[in-house]
Structure 1
Amino acid sequence: MVYQALYRVWRPQSFADVIGQEHVTKTLQNALLQQKTTHAYLFSGPRGTGKTSAAKILAKAVNCERMPIAEPCNECSACLGITDGSIPDVIEIDAASNNGVEEIRDIRDKVKYAPNAVPYKVYIIDEVHMLSIGAFNALLKTLEEPPKHVIFILATTEPHKIPLTIISRCQRFDFKRITAQDIVGRMAHIATESGLQYEDKALHIIARAAGGGMRDALSLLDQAVSFSTDRVKVEDALTVTGSVSHHYLNKIGRAVYEKNIPEALASLEELMLEGKDPARFAEDLILYFRDALLYKTAPNLEESLERAMLDEDFTKLANGIQPEQIYDYIDILNHTQQEMKFSNHARIYLEVSLVKLCQAETKKAIEVVGIQELHAKIESLEKELTLLRTNHKPMEEESKAQSPNKKAARQSKEFRVNTRMIREILTGATREDLNSVKSHWGELLEALNSRQMRSQSALLNDAEPAAASPNGFILKFKYEIHCKMAMENQTFLEITSNILEEITGKRLQFVGVPEDQWTEIREEFLQNHSQDGKKNDEEHEDPLISEAMKLVGADLIEIKN
């Protein structure tokens, strides 16, 4: 007898055999018991999760001679005929090869004929997303209102490619990926019933490599059985799946943690010589570090570990590594895995990623170093502050002793105004002389700019003549620093006097004074000048006028020269 693959021999024949899809099988069983089955179903989900098997089981259940029941009996002629394909009323169509309008029109024409052997005619259209737009349009009306004796079951792995008008006319059931635990349980049952010898860890490796598909898992188990001699061992499962042994994962994980680049690259070289797939290794390493993070943060979830095994090496590494490091490792590996998909040099990307993993510095480590440096600086500042407090009183006394000298030194640096010259100019000052200087002030500034003396001209931007006499004038500055710079620059004074002489025809001397000091000097001069004027008037007063004022008062006397 020709050998049949395990997934064909052990195809589910009842809803109880459909592993990991309880949310689907329970709903269908209730509908069968209550006789509330509908005219169209859509089964969607990843490959190998039981969509087509569930469709056949549903076809048998609705046509079983013992209806209404939750499971097909698999004993009556209808169930047996549908199982071996001898009943023509259950039609399986592969939409990948029958995706044209003509095939759908043929279905539409034949759908009106009553079934021959069973109560319902069931159309199972696999990979229905492969139908063309015209085929979908041809199916639309029939799918919406088929005859009472027809049931459509559509199966697909890509439901997003199906028009919404089709989806809205079906009851949709989404099949999910089967968990590794469920796959292991089903494989253990099949192996036991088939008389196969196996190691538990080998089944776990196959289940993880299956990616949530039961058909893939049974195909890998078939290969492992063929590869092994009398017992499916861990090494056989690793060879068949292309996965990396736990020993190598521990070895590379330890090398990455200890930043031992030669050890990590040497281990990778050994794996490549054994023919391991770089993409599979990257995935195994991601799962390994994921398990390390899970074990470190939630040790009680041992059953959730995907790739690691709780031996001494793994637990020691997981306890020593920091979560922040694991985050960085997974990010680097995930980025590498994405780049490997579009490159012909996957091994190079893998080698570079291992070097990156060994050289990765986590943000946490950098922050710790920064915090340590900050603590050292704080301690140093605290010591200096203590020293300052200890020497505070001697320093305070010394500062008090030195304060008069500092004040004197500060005062000595202040600009000293030539008050004598200011008084001389104010004594002979007239309005005409001041207006004359102001009228020529713009010419002076232009002359300074034309002679490339812009710095000297800038000193006079905020200055203006305040008073003038025939021989000189007073220049008031807004800022003391500008006044000091101008009056202490002999070259500036000489050039300015020469330019004024060229403009006015007179040799005028000028003296600078800050604006705040000018106000005080001017008020002081006016006050002294008025007092001197009163004294002079009193000295020249006529004695007769004084006597008359004493006799009759100042209001009744009029003095005429």
Structure 2
Amino acid sequence: MAYQALYRVWRPQRFFDVVGQEHVTTTLQNALLQEKISHAYLFSGPRGTGKTSAAKILAKAVNCEKAPVGEPCNECPSCRGITDGSIPDVIEIDAASNNGVEEIRDIRDKVKYAPNAVKYKVYIVDEVHMLSIGAFNALLKTLEEPPRHVIFILATTEPHKIPLTIISRTQRFDFKRITAQAIVGRMKLIVEESGIDCDEKALQVVARAAEGGMRDALSLLDQAISFSQERVTVEDALTVTGAVSQSFLNQLARAIHERDAAHGLEALEELLFQGKDPARFIEDMIYFYRDMLLYKAAPSLEESLERVLMDEDFQQLAAEVETNQIYEIIDGLNKAQQEMRWTNHPRVFLEVAIVKLCQLETPKTGSAEAGANVGPLMKRLEELEEKLARYEQNPPAAAAGQEASVQKKPQRVNRKGYQAPAGKINEVLKSATKQDLNTIKSRWGEMLEMLVGKQMRSQAALLNEAEPVASSEEALVIKFKYEIHCQMAMENVKFIETIGGVLKDLTGKPMQVLGVPEEQWLKIRESFLSSQHHESPDGKSESEEDPLISEAKKLFGEELIQIQD
């Protein structure tokens, strides 16, 4: 073929040309200079980051006639032969199509033969994770102790699929995604050497669309060059990559910020008319607001931005949009993206998402709120300071005594726990009836639902282990299984008032609410029944019913009472 793709023409021939992998190339160069070459290497990382290129450069460096060297000379017969593939001692194997046991056995049988033309026989196994389990097992012993003249270089994009027994026999190097800045720098060199007229912003669009892969970037650049006329412009790069222009994203973000749904839908209609993919567009929007959030948090980390170009419109918009609003927009776009994956009409969900985002309420700024309340707050603060000054000069004795008593009460509570008001409970028991108790029990579940509806879900949870045990027309006694739950409920004034209001709505009567732990309730009830027995008149006839039994039937119902002599 007369024409070769850019990524083939500009394949790195030196470690210096491997962009963005300095942590790998420096280590390999030091090993070459110190003649500490390992028998097996594992290169792992995303596609298009230089794994196979680094493997070929390493194969040339160890076989270079000027060795030991940090870089292959690319001039001696060995380097030139390995570059053009004429030397049979450097073998490249595609494990995706040669993944069986027989192919690996063939390698195992041939490694014992000495190389023909160079010092080392190098096996470069690409996509090694595609080998079968049997093939890996066949490779194990050879990989661990190959002949002195053999070097294995394994390359993969999915190292987690390789058995640990293989990984432990190699030196592993992890290639990372190449930064957009490094990709742009490499492409600048290529277009300058090739004499191609290209806009720098177009290179940035291509670099961000490549997502860290140099090969993908050069392929997209190749397409943009073919698409363009005389100069590769930003529009050419956007058309080839399928991305949305920065000005369009700024325009739509402005419409969302100003809550202009009509303008936002018009811009969206123009985008779809140009043939843009709705799924790709919503992804660009998510990254746009993601970059805006990172820019607001750390303006100096421009390299961390994925899709955005730092133009004046973007910086002005980022200064106006609040952080909380960005969170809501990203959340709305993410939900729309998930819904679009499972529908045949993604455009509908995209349009609905744009309208929703344009109707978001603008969050109130803290400064405006503070400005509205600063006057009354300052006045109230001055009054409190004056009262505090008078109190410190002449503290009243009564207040001091009251303060001391208040300080002592929590100590008593903490030491003895919660004490139910036995006197008030006894008064309720005197006038309590079974009918009143059944009325409350029949509406108990409804009362819990009303508490949840009043945004008191956590407080209502305290009543999950509680139940009404006695009720009169004016008061209700609630038994709690645990003392701590009873204490938390009864010390919450708002909670008690809310329960009283709910009971009034259900029964039509205002009711006092009393709480008692289960252990204390048993004692209070037993004491009350005993006192009722002692207060009954002496000399009653045998035919008369025991007042203790009568009172128990009145409280708990005749069907629940079992009399034993």
With the shorter chain as reference, the TM-score category is 0.5 to 0.7
3-state SS in 2 of match to 1:290: helix
1:104 is displaced (CA, Å) by 0.4
Q: Distance in 1 between matches of 2:298 and 2:164?
A: 43
Matches within 5 A, 1:87-486: 87-302=87-302, 304-341=304-341, 343-361=343-361, 365=364, 435-437=538-540, 441-442=544-545
Question: Alpha carbons of 1:142 and 1:314: their partners in 2 closer, same or farther (altered >3 Å)?
Answer: same
More divergent stretch after superposition (50-59 vs 335-344): 335-344
Deviates more, 1:310-319 or 1:128-137: 310-319
**Distance in 2 between residues matched to 1:173 and 1:253, nearest whole Å:** 42
Superposed CA deviations along residues 240-278 of structure 1, whole A, max 9, x for unmatched, are: 001111111011101111222222222122111111122
1:64 maps to amino acid = C
- The one-letter code of the counterpart of 2:61 is A
Aligned amino acid, residue 290 of structure 1: R
C-alpha separation in 2, matches of 1:37 and 1:342: 52
What is the alpha-carbon distance in structure 2 between the residues aligned to residue 375 and residue 344 of structure 1? 52
- Give the structure 2 partner of residue 58 of structure 1: 58
The Cα offsets for residues 504-539 of structure 1, whole Å up to 9 and x where unpaired, read as xxxxxxxxxxxxxxxxxxxxxxxxxxxxxxxxxxxx
Q: Give 1:435 deviation, angstroms.
A: 4.1
Contact 2:261 2:358 in 1 (8 A): yes
1:15-59 deviations in whole A, cap 9, x for unaligned?
011000000000000000011011000000000000000000000
1:225 aligned counterpart, secondary structure? helix
Q: SS at 2:152's partner residue? A: strand
- Where 1:3 maps in the other structure, the secondary structure is coil
The 1:57–1:340 alpha-carbon spacing in structure 2 relative to 1, beyond 3 Å, is farther
User: Helix, strand or coil for the counterpart of 2:186?
Assistant: helix
**SS at 2:123 equivalent:** strand
Q: Deviations over 1:110-148 (max 9, x none)?
A: 111111000111000000000000000001111011110
Deviation at 1:442, TM superposition (A): 2.5
Shift of 1:307: 2.9
SS in 2 for 1:442: coil
Q: Would the aligned equivalents of 2:284 and 2:307 in 1 still touch at CA under 8 Å?
A: yes
**When the two structures are superposed, what TM-score results if normalisation uses the length of structure 2?**
0.66
Q: Structure 1 residues 262 and 43 mapped into 2: Cα distance closer, same or farther (>3 Å)?
A: same
More displaced 10-residue stretch of structure 1: 350-359 or 167-176: 350-359
Cα deviation digits, residues 174-203 of structure 1 (max 9, x gap): 000000000000001000000000101000
SS in structure 2 at match of 1:317: helix
Output the amino acid matched with 2:297: T
> Offset at 1:76?
0.5
Relative to structure 1, the CA distance from residue 368 to residue 443 in structure 2 (aligned partners, 3 Å threshold; closer, same or farther) is: farther
> Which letter maps to 2:157?
T
* Residues 339 and 172 of structure 1, relative CA distance in 2, 3 Å threshold: farther
> Residues of 2 paired with 1:444 and 1:60: CA distance?
108
Sequence identity of aligned pairs in percent?
A: 68
The letter for the 1-side match of 2:267 is S
Cα distance, 1:279 vs. partner? 2.7
- In structure 2, the residue matched to 1:522 is none
Deviation at 1:367, TM superposition (A): 9.2
Q: How many residues align?
A: 405
Q: Could you tell me whether the CA contact under 8 Å between 2:128 and 2:154 is conserved in 1?
A: yes
1:120 is matched by which residue type in structure 2? Answer: Y
Corresponding letter in the other structure for 2:2 = V
Deviations 1:324-373 (A, max 9, x none): 111222233334445545554433343333233223447x649999x78x
Q: For residue 500 of structure 2, what is the aligned residue in structure 1? A: none
In 2, the alpha carbon distance for the partners of 1:273 and 1:291 equals 26
Local SS of the residue matching 2:43: strand
Cα distance change on mapping 1:337 and 1:434 into 2, 3 Å: closer
- One-letter amino acid of the structure 1 residue matched with residue 215 of structure 2: R
Mean Cα deviation higher: 324-333 or 104-113: 324-333
Which amino acid in 1 is paired with 2:110? K
The alpha-carbon deviation at position 309 of structure 1 amounts to 3.4
Give the drift of 1:79. 0.5
Residue by residue over 1:371-426, the C-alpha shift from the partner in whole angstroms, topping out at 9 and shown as x without a partner, is 78x969x88x98xx99xxxxxxxxxxxxxxxxxxxxxxxxxxxxxxxxxxxxxxxx
Return closer, same or farther for 1:319/1:441 CA change in 2, 3 Å cut-off.
same
Question: Counterpart amino acid of 2:163?
Answer: P
Q: CA shift at 1:280, angstroms?
A: 2.3
Judge conservation of contact 2:96–2:131 (CA < 8 Å) in 1: yes
Query: Following the alignment from structure 2 to structure 1, what is the Cα–Cα distance between the partners of residues 295 and 203?
Result: 22
Q: Match of 1:155, SS? A: strand
| Structure 1 residue ranges, 4+ long, deviating more than 6 angstroms after superposition | 366-369, 443-450
Q: Deviation per CA, 1:45-77, whole angstroms, max 9, x where unpaired?
A: 000000000000000111110000000000000
Greater C-alpha radius of gyration: 1
CA contact (8 A) 2:180 2:303 kept: no
